[in-house]
C-alpha cells in the first residue's frame, strides 16, 4: 500500500483589522484644521456603511428595518451616555451640533435665570444666552478664572434677587488657543454658591475624557463633526429637571404624548424625546456613538502623550521663526490641547493660509475663529507683548488630532520658514 503524504495546510496570518480610530483623508493633503472639523474616523464610516442597508424610520414603524434602526438609535444614546459619564437621571439629547445644544439649553432655562460666561468663549457660548447675562473678563490664568467666578457669584448672592437660578457656562478647552480651563474647580465654586455649570466640550472631548459625574458638572455639550464623526450630530447631556419642565425645543411628532382634536390639546412627553421632534439624524447619532465607543476602548493617555509631543514640536518650531507670534491667554506653559493660533508679522493671514493650501497642500484656518471678542483681544495682547506694530488683524490656527504626524508638522514649519 502506498502512503500519500498530505502537506500541512499553510498557517495564514490573521486578517489585519483596520484601526477604528484611523482617519480618512486624501493622499497628499495635510489637514491641520481639526478644530474646525475633524476628519472622519474609520469607526464612524464603518458604522454608517453597516447600517445603510437597514436605513428606515426611527420610532415610527413596526417593520424589521424600523425596529433595527430604532434599536441602533437608542443604543447610540446609551453609548454616548457612557462615554460622557452621565448619571442615571441625566438626559442625553441628540442635537445638530454644539451651537444647537447650547441654544436648546438657553430655551430651557427657568424664568429669571442669570447666566455667567467669560469673555473667552466661542460665539456658540456667548450669543444664545438671555439679556442680563454676566460676562466676566478674560482671565490671565486658570486660578484667575476661579477667583473671578467666585467673586461674581458672591456678588450675585448679595443681589436683590435671591433664590433665582444661576448657570455658569464655560468652555472646556478654548478653540483659539487650546488652553484647558479648570472645570472641576469652577464646578466646585459654582455649586458652593448654588449655581449650575455647563461645559462647552466641543474642543475638549476630542482630546481628553469628559465625565459629567467625575467633574461634577451639570451639563455638557459637544459636536460630532469635531469628534471624528460626520456633520449634523451633536449632544446636550445633563440634569433632567430643567429640560423636562421647559417647552419642547421643536414642536412636532415624537415630542408629544397626546394630541387632541384641537391643536392646542397637546401633552408633551418627558425625557430626551421632548426635545427631539421630527425624524432624527440616525446615521449621525450612530456614527458619533461609534467614535465614542472606539475612544472609550482606546488608551487615552497614550493618545494624549502622542498629541502633546506633536504640539510641543509645533510650538517650539514656531518659536524659532522670527516673524511668528503665538497667541495665548493663560501663559506659555498652561495645559492645552492640540490647537495653536499665531500670526506672521507683516503678512495678511488669509494670504498665508491661501499660500499654504495652494503651494504646499496644507490646510489651516485663518480669521477670528468664531470667537471675535477673544481673538481681537489676544491679537492686541500679542502686539503689546512683542512691541510689534505690524501684526495683522486676523490670525492663523493649526490644530492637530488623530492622524497628525511629525512630517506633517514639519511640513508646516518648513513652509512658514520659506514664505515668499
pLDDT digits over 276-324, tens only?
999 999 999 999 999 999 999 999 999 999 999 999 999 999 999 999 9
For residue 174 the three cell numbers come to 478654548
CA 72/CA 52 separation, integer angstroms: 12
Supply the angle between the helices 300-319 and 406-417 in degrees, to the nearest 10: 10
Residue that has been written with the C-alpha cell 515668499 in this structure: 420
Comparing C-alpha atoms, which of 169, 60, 159 is closest to residue 121? 169
| Average pLDDT of the chain, as a whole number | 94
What integer is the mean pLDDT of 208-228? 97
Q: Cα(419)–Cα(318) distance, rounded to whole angstroms?
A: 13
Give me the pLDDT at residue 15, please: 58
Find the range with the poorest average confidence among 14-18, 87-91, 152-156, 363-367: 14-18
Q: What is the mean pLDDT of residues 250-268?
A: 85
Q: Each residue of 140-163: b (16+ CB within 10 Å) or e?
A: eebeebbebbbebbeebeeeeeee
**Distance between CA atoms of residues 343 and 251, nearest Å:** 46
Within its chain, how far is the Cα of 266 from the centroid? Answer: 35
Sequence-ordered alpha helix ranges (H) in 255-281: none
| Percentage of residues in the chain having pLDDT higher than 90 | 86
pTM equals: 0.93
Q: Of 58-67, 83-92, 137-146, 209-218, give the lowest mean pLDDT range.
A: 58-67
* Phi, psi for residue 228 in degrees, rounded to 5: 70, 25
Q: Using the predicted structure, report yes or no on whether residue 5 has a pLDDT greater than 60.
A: no
SS3 308: helix
79 pLDDT above the threshold of 70: yes
Q: Which secondary structure element, helix H or strand E, spans residue 285, and what is its range? A: helix 282-297
How far apart are the C-alpha atoms of 23 and 402, rounded to whole Å? 7
Query: Would residue 237 be called left, alpha or beta, if left means φ above 0 and alpha means ψ between -120 and 50 degrees?
Result: beta
In the structure, what pLDDT confidence band is assigned to residue 240 with cuts at 50, 70 and 90?
very high
Query: Confidence class of residue 112 from pLDDT cuts 50, 70 and 90?
Result: very high
- Which sign does the torsion angle of CA 31, 35, 40, 43 carry? positive
| pLDDT-above-70 percentage for the chain | 95
> For residues 231 and 223, what is the distance between their CA atoms, to the nearest angstrom?
8
Average pLDDT of the segment spanning 229-255? 94
**H/E run at residue 72:** helix 64-83
pLDDT of residue 230: 85
Give the model's confidence band at 389: pLDDT under 50 very low, under 70 low, under 90 confident, else very high: very high
Q: Name the nearest CA neighbour of 76 among 68, 163, 304.
A: 68
Q: Distance between CA 58 and CA 72 in Å, rounded?
A: 9
Q: What are phi and psi of 419, to 5 degrees?
A: -60, 135
SS3 assignment, position 158: coil
List residues with catalytic annotation.
370
Check whether 1 has a pLDDT greater than 60.
Answer: no
On whether the CB atoms of residues 277 and 59 are closer than 8 A, the answer is no
Task: Name the grid cell of 281.
Answer: 439624524
Amino acid at each position: 500500500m502506498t502512503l500519500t503524504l498530505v502537506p500541512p495546510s499553510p498557517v495564514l496570518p490573521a486578517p489585519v483589522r483596520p484601526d477604528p480610530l484611523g482617519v480618512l483623508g486624501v493622499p497628499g493633503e495635510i489637514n491641520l484644521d481639526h478644530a474646525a472639523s475633524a476628519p472622519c474616523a474609520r469607526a464612524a464610516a464603518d458604522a454608517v456603511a453597516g447600517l445603510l442597508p437597514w436605513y428606515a424610520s426611527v420610532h415610527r414603524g413596526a417593520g424589521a428595518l424600523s425596529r433595527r434602526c430604532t434599536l441602533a438609535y437608542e443604543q447610540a444614546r446609551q453609548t454616548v451616555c457612557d462615554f460622557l459619564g452621565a448619571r442615571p437621571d441625566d438626559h442625553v439629547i441628540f442635537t445638530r451640533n454644539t451651537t444647537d445644544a447650547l441654544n436648546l439649553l438657553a430655551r430651557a432655562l427657568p424664568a429669571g435665570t442669570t447666566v455667567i460666561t467669560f469673555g473667552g468663549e466661542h460665539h456658540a457660548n456667548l450669543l444664545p444666552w438671555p439679556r442680563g447675562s454676566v460676562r466676566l473678563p478674560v482671565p490671565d490664568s486658570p486660578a484667575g478664572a476661579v477667583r473671578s467666578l467666585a467673586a461674581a457669584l458672591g456678588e450675585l448672592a448679595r443681589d436683590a434677587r435671591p433664590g433665582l437660578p444661576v448657570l455658569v457656562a464655560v468652555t472646556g478647552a478654548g478653540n483659539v488657543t487650546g488652553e484647558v480651563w479648570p472645570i472641576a474647580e469652577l464646578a466646585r465654586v459654582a455649586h458652593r454658591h448654588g449655581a449650575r455649570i455647563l461645559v462647552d466640550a466641543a474642543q475638549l472631548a476630542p482630546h481628553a475624557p469628559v465625565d459629567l459625574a467625575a467633574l461634577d458638572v451639570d451639563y455638557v455639550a459637544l459636536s460630532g463633526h469635531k469628534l471624528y464623526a460626520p456633520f449634523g450630530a451633536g449632544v446636550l447631556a445633563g440634569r433632567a429637571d430643567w429640560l423636562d419642565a421647559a417647552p419642547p425645543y421643536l414642536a412636532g411628532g415624537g415630542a408629544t404624548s397626546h394630541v387632541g382634536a384641537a391643536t392646542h390639546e397637546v401633552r408633551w412627553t418627558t425625557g430626551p424625546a421632548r426635545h427631539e421632534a421630527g425624524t432624527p439624524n440616525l446615521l449621525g447619532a450612530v456614527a458619533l456613538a461609534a467614535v465614542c465607543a472606539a475612544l472609550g476602548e482606546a488608551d487615552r493617555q497614550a493618545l494624549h502623550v502622542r498629541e502633546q509631543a506633536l504640539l510641543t514640536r509645533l510650538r517650539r518650531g514656531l518659536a524659532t521663526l522670527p516673524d511668528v507670534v503665538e497667541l495665548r491667554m493663560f501663559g506659555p506653559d498652561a495645559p492645552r490641547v492640540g490647537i495653536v493660533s499665531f500670526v506672521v508679522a507683516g503678512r495678511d493671514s488669509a494670504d498665508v493660509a491661501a499660500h499654504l493650501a495652494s503651494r504646499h497642500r496644507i490646510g489651516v484656518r485663518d480669521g477670528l475663529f468664531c470667537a471675535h471678542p477673544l481673538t481681537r483681544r489676544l491679537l492686541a495682547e500679542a502686539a503689546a507683548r512683542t512691541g510689534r506694530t505690524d501684526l495683522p488683524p486676523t490670525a492663523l490656527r493649526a490644530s492637530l488630532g488623530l492622524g497628525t504626524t511629525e512630517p506633517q508638522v514639519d511640513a508646516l514649519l518648513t513652509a512658514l520658514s520659506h514664505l515668499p
